[in-house]
Structure 1
Amino acid sequence: MNDFEKTEEWPDAAPARMTELYDAVECLKEGHRELKRELRELEERAIEAAHAFAEGELQRLRELRPATRRFLLRLQSHRDWEEEVLHPFLRRYFNLDNKPTLLPSFWKLEKEYELAVSSMHAFTNMLDDLYDSADWTEIRQTTYQLIRSCHLIGKYFQAEERFVHPLAEQALTDIDYFYS
């Protein structure tokens, strides 16, 4: 076994040659874990709110607004970091264009991200338009908009992990191989 292989005693051991890329990949994984945990909590609260409403009651739904906005800010901050640090490296390393395509690509990820965030903003806009006199149907539609948004963002994370993580892992393997 060479210095770069993980041992049984240290299954999560880092490669022997630490790199900024390794740190970025770990930051990406940790960021996704945290964001997905927050997303699950937000979705659970939305589902609870959808089932707990008495006709005309908006308070539980309105309580989701600050959590949704905080999540969107954290998601945008994470996305900005990806676009500044990790994605440019991977695009250059693998010579990937940011053009429209049906295959997994950075362009497709960007569109999925835009759709998911737009959906979550639609929830906050719908919530802003609700009045205390809103009927059960309007309240339920608004709540389900948030639940749909959570699903879209979850799908975005899955797509990114299926596309970006293998690229990053391949680059790390290449670096380890180069230095072995």
Structure 2
Amino acid sequence: MMKIEAELEPLDSARTSAFLLLVIQLKSDHDRLKKKVDALYELSVSTSAAAAGAGMFQLLDQLRTDSSKLLDELDRHAKWEDQELFPIVMNYFNKKIEPTIMPSIWVLEKDHELALQFFDSFLELSGSMLSRLKRGAERYDIQMAGQLKQATDHLTQGCLILKGHFHMEEELLFPLMSEILTDIDYLFS
């Protein structure tokens, strides 16, 4: 990964290319998204471990808000990758006589889907809890604490999967993109 970071400086490139700008955007997006996932993970773990109290309602509501915002950003990022980045990488490597990267991309997509399922489960469970608490139908008790733990565990698991997903994606894509950038530099130097 160290090599790709050195190549992300446009002034170090023989010719700044549109592909280099895509690689820079990928790195930037991943760094930003990983920070948000880390923060959400920490909040989820601390909410799960927190004692019942008046602040629990606000913590759960904050988790839901942050989760929804992250899901929106992940959706935009995934669409950008599918429309802008992956077609170039796939096209470049499909022309070479090498094993296809399609199975690896497929695994990454399934990993992403699994994380989203955990997020959806958290949103469903926590939404139900908040709805019951708002209506005053239930008060926060030992059963509600168990439901909170279950909901936050789903969110925590989704965050862990996303952390692994970003790492695997970078381990797969950065060497490939480094090869493309090297070829571009050789072509224009």
* In 2: Cα distance, 1:119 partner to 1:87 partner: 25
Higher relative contact order (CA 8 A, sep 6+): 2
Structure 1 position 53 matched with structure 2 position 51: yes
Tell me if the contact between 2:14 and 2:188 (Cα under 8 Å) persists in the aligned partners.
no
* In 2: Cα distance, 1:84 partner to 1:94 partner: 17
**1:158 aligns with one of 129, 148, 167:** 167
Q: Which residue of 1 aligns with 2:152?
A: 143
* In 2: Cα distance, 1:170 partner to 1:97 partner: 14
- Cα distance change, pair 167–145 in 1 and its aligned pair in 2 (3 A): same
Q: Which has the higher helix share?
A: 2
* In 2: Cα distance, 1:141 partner to 1:53 partner: 15
In structure 1, the gaps of 5 or more residues are 1-7
Q: Which amino acid aligns with 1:62?
A: D
In structure 2, the gaps of 5 or more residues are 1-5, 95-99
Q: SS of the residue aligned with 1:79?
A: helix
* In 2: Cα distance, 1:164 partner to 1:63 partner: 33
Structure 1 position 173 matched with structure 2 position 163: no
Counterparts in 2 of 1:30-69, with a 5 A limit?
A: 30-54=28-52, 57-69=56-68
Q: Which residue of 1 aligns with 2:3?
A: none
**TM-score w.r.t. length of structure 1:** 0.85
Q: Which residue of 1 aligns with 2:97?
A: none
Counterparts in 2 of 1:94-109, with a 5 A limit?
A: 94-95=93-94, 96=100, 98=102, 101=103, 105-109=104-108
* In 2: Cα distance, 1:59 partner to 1:137 partner: 17
* In 2: Cα distance, 1:97 partner to 1:171 partner: 14
Aligned-CA RMSD value: 2.2
* In 1: Cα distance, 2:127 partner to 2:40 partner: 18
Counterparts in 2 of 1:72-83, with a 5 A limit?
A: 72-83=71-82
* In 2: Cα distance, 1:76 partner to 1:163 partner: 20
Q: Which residue of 2 aligns with 1:5?
A: none
Identity value in percent: 31
- Choose 53-62 or 152-161, whichever is displaced more: 53-62
* In 1: Cα distance, 2:74 partner to 2:12 partner: 27
* In 2: Cα distance, 1:159 partner to 1:116 partner: 14
